[in-house]
Structure formats: C-alpha cells, structure tokens
Amino acid sequence: KEIEFYEEIDSTNIRAKNWSKEGAIEGSLVIAEKQNAGRGRMGKQWDSPKGEGIWMSFIVKPVMSIEKIPQLTILAGLSMCYSIRQVTGLDIYIKWPNDLVVNNKKVCGILCEMVKVKDELVVVVGIGVNVNSKKFPDDLSHATSLYLEGKKLFSRESIIKSFLRRFEENYKIYIETGSLMNFIGDYKNYCINLNKQVKIIEGQQEFIGFVRDIDQEARLIVEKEDGSLISILSGDVSV
C-alpha cells in the first residue's frame, strides 16, 4: 500500500482526489500532521491543528453502484468506533450516520467524496479524529477529544493501524456479501439515535420524528408526528 505523509497540507481529501487522478491504487493513504483547509460535511470547515488529531484520507475503488456509497461511510464509521474503543477503552458511540461521539460530544467525523477517473468510480474516505486536543474554540462546544474524555494522551499510530486492519477486514466481508447485514447489529448497538427523538433537516424543511429502527441499509426509520413512517438515507440529511 502506498502512503503519503505531509507535515502540512490544504486537505487530505483534496490530495487523495488529485492522487487518484494521477493513478493512485486502491488503499492509497494520505496522512497529515496539520490541514490548512480541512473540510467537513456540508461545506463546513474542519479544524485540524498540528499534531492534535488523525487527519487522513484513503482511496477505495468499490465495484458498486453510486447509491451504495453512503454504506461505505457507515462501514468506515463503525470500523473506527471499534478501533477507538479497543485502543482507548472509552465508550464511543455513533451519531447517525457516522459521527463518533463520547458523552454526546463529537470526536470523529467522516467525509466521503466521489470522483470519476476515466469512467471508474473512486471514493475518497476522509476521516478526522480529535485525539490529543487540549481545548477547542468556544464556538466548537459540541466537540471534544479522546484526551479530554480519557484524561490521557493516546497514540494516533495505534488507532490508525487498528482502523486500517479492521476496515480492510470489514470491507472484504461487505463486498462478499454485498450488504451491511453483518454489521447492522453492532451499528444499532452503538447508535445513540435509536428509540430517540430526532430533528431532521432536509433542505429547507425541518421536522421532528422518532427513530423506530435502523434498517439493513443503515437508513433511519422515522415515525413522523402524524404517525407515518419514512426512511431516511444516510448522506441526505443531518440529524
């Protein structure tokens, strides 16, 4: 596997997208100490100070249809959840679709982006984990780090290694079975949204619902206030 390491970069996702156009093979990984233009979902910025976290992106070339890409993000989130639990012993949970939280505060986010390279579909999976950050700006009160929650410093390398091993294993199973069926049980165990109220923001619309279930494709089954059920595909909305 090929790895690129940067002391400083705009965004590892941008680099991974460009690298894939230059012919990077599946599994290629970009890691940075610091990002100057880290991006989160929905165009938000993602703070990535030097040495404080895991800022990385890797390239997957899945032989699957575009609609299944959100499932890949679910798999990456679940894999990271297992790994952080294993390395830190902290009680990490998943906030649907793939934020990882401790004590309801966010420690990890995932941004998957797709690129077409000569008719081939390439997915860049970008993961940010706040590992050893000691404080956050006031406007990031919903954010935390593994250090702040576990009260000790953790090895970024151990988490990355554990994650890569696990994701590779899980990805193989996912491709073989063509579905998330082997993972949804664990996903549901770790997901904090199940049987809770949620506010769904869909474009300009906002509504309150109750999460009744999470289906085999990791869609939320939400009961609206009028009693009707709808299913929400990860990737479409934020909770």
Where along the sequence are the contacts to ligand BTN (CB under 6 A)? Answer: 11-13, 35, 38-41, 44, 46, 48, 55-57, 99, 109-111, 126-128
Report, in Å, the least distance between residue 177 CB and ligand BTN: 27
Report, in Å, the least distance between residue 15 CB and ligand BTN: 9
Residue closest to ligand BTN (Cβ) = 109
Report, in Å, the least distance between residue 224 CB and ligand BTN: 26
Nearer to ligand BTN, 57 or 71 (CB): 57
Nearer to ligand BTN, 1 or 172 (CB): 1
Nearer to ligand BTN, 44 or 224 (CB): 44
Nearer to ligand BTN, 40 or 179 (CB): 40
User: Residue written as tokens 């410093």?
Assistant: 153
Report, in Å, the least distance between residue 8 CB and ligand BTN: 13
